[in-house]
Structures are given as C-alpha cells and as structure tokens.
Amino acid sequence: MNLTLHVWRQPGPGAPGRMVRYQAADISPEMSFLEMLDVVNERLMETGEAPIAFDHDCREGICGSCSLMINGVAHGPELGTASCQLHMRSFRDGQEIHVEPWRARAFPVVKDLVVNRSALDRIIAVGGYASAPTGSAPDGNATLIPKDAVETAMDAAQCIGCGACVAACPNGSASLFTAAKITHLGLLPQGQPERGRRARRMVEQMDIEGFGQCSLYGECQEACPKEISIDTITRMNRDYLRALTAPDRAAAAESD
C-alpha cells in the first residue's frame, strides 16, 4: 500500500506545531498502524530527520499508551480497538491519513503526537481507589458479590485510561473515564464506605483539570477501545447527586 500521511509535528511543549506531509510507500496491509509509523520513522532517520514521536507500549490494547486521532476519529476507524490494534487493511491504497494528538486543554502536547495525560492520574488520585487494610489474601468467596454486579463492575474496570473519550468528546469531557472508575468501585462491596466521597472528589477534580461537561453526545462510548457504556456516566451522576444529600461514612468522618 502507498499512503499519504499528514502528521502533527511539534518540537516541544508550547512550541508552534504544524501538519507535515509524508509518503508512506510499500506498507503491508498486515501492519498495525503503529508498525506503519515505525517504518515511516526508520526512513525519516535514514535521511537524518527527527522521527515522529508517539506514545506506545504493549501494542496489544491493554496499556492505554497509544493515543492517535486518525482522520478525526479517536483510535481510527476500527471499533473497540486502540490505535495499536488498528491494521492498515482498514485503509484504502492511496488514502490520505491525518494523524493528530488528542486535543484538550488538560492534555498539553509534549512532542508531536505525545500528550501529557497526568490529569487523568490526578482524578484517580483523589478517590479512584478503595482504602482497605492490606494483609494476607482474604478467603475466596468470603465476600459474596452478585454476578451481575461483578460483570458490570468488570466492564467498567476495563478502562485503560487512554483518554480517547476526552479526544472524541465535542466538549473535551473526561466523564466516561471518571465514571468508569466510579462505577467499577461503586458496584463492589469494597468500594461502599468511600462511595459518596469518591464521586464528589473525582467530579470536582475533573472540573479543576479543565475538562468540559458531559452533554451525552455518546461519542465517548463509540471511541472507547474497551467499549465502556455511557451508563457509567448515569451511575456517576447518581452517586454524585446522592452524595450531596446523604454524605457517607467517609465524608462524615472528614467533617468531624
């Protein structure tokens, strides 16, 4: 395959960037999108040009590193996959492909296609966990959890924190990311003591980071490589609003 790429090049944070045109010749349709970029980069290095910087790690859709906006679609045209699992057979020979970094105020560009997603870590840090005494592993089945709660929690727990939901959202909202963690922990018994405080703190942090509001467009669940449902956002809203009227034990202990 022969493709024409338009790639965002930006030498560093705050530096001016621009779309640069590259030819990607003799690309195998069996390559992943990232392998195609590897080939382009090798050729760039042979000519002495700086390679295109992009985030990647596991290349099997579980680490959440890759973060490419491909022709205006987060992670490209394949549903339920990250950019690393997108294969070149999803494109036509001779196609023009635009590749850009995630765009959000909370995701400043580090270089080229690499953005800083620490804002998501800070949302987790204020409440996306269950405080529990550690020690020896508890007995299996010591805590019984209904099967449907387990499954729904597990669906939400699949979030890999890639930020595609933010990138695809017309408002640049991190609601799906935040809601996935609130849903995951809010459905399990271990998450109950801090459930209300978690929702309040994470929602407040999401706003502090400068993400937009949720307008229920639905673009996030379509972009999500783990196909997390916007039902999680409904659960987040419920937990937040309920926490305003009935503070839980963790919040009550805090205000004492």
The separation between CA 231 and the C-alpha centre of its own chain, rounded to angstroms, equals 17
CB of 215 to another protein, least distance (A): 6
98 sits near another protein (criterion: CB under 8 A): yes
Taking residue 30's Cβ as centre, other Cβ atoms within 10 Å add up to: 9
Residue from 68, 73, 84, 114 touching another protein (CB under 8 A): that is 73
CB-based contacts of 28: which residues, under 8 Å, 6+ apart?
Answer: 1, 88
Residue from 131, 134, 136, 245 touching another protein (CB under 8 A): that is 245
Q: Binding segment for another protein among 60-68, 80-88, 124-132, 229-237 (CB under 8 A)?
A: 229-237
211 sits near another protein (criterion: CB under 8 A): yes
Q: How many residues belong to the site for another protein (CB under 8 A)?
A: 52
Residue from 1, 78, 158, 218 touching another protein (CB under 8 A): that is 218
Q: Which C-beta is closer to another protein: that of 63 or that of 171?
A: 171
Site for another protein in 110-169 (CB under 8 A): 152, 168
Residue from 244, 249, 252, 253 touching another protein (CB under 8 A): that is 244
223 sits near another protein (criterion: CB under 8 A): yes
Partners of 23 in the β-ladder: 4
Which residues would be at the binding site for another protein (CB under 8 A)?
6, 8, 19, 69, 71-73, 98, 100, 103-106, 152, 168, 170-173, 200, 203-204, 206-207, 210-219, 221-223, 229-231, 233-242, 244-245
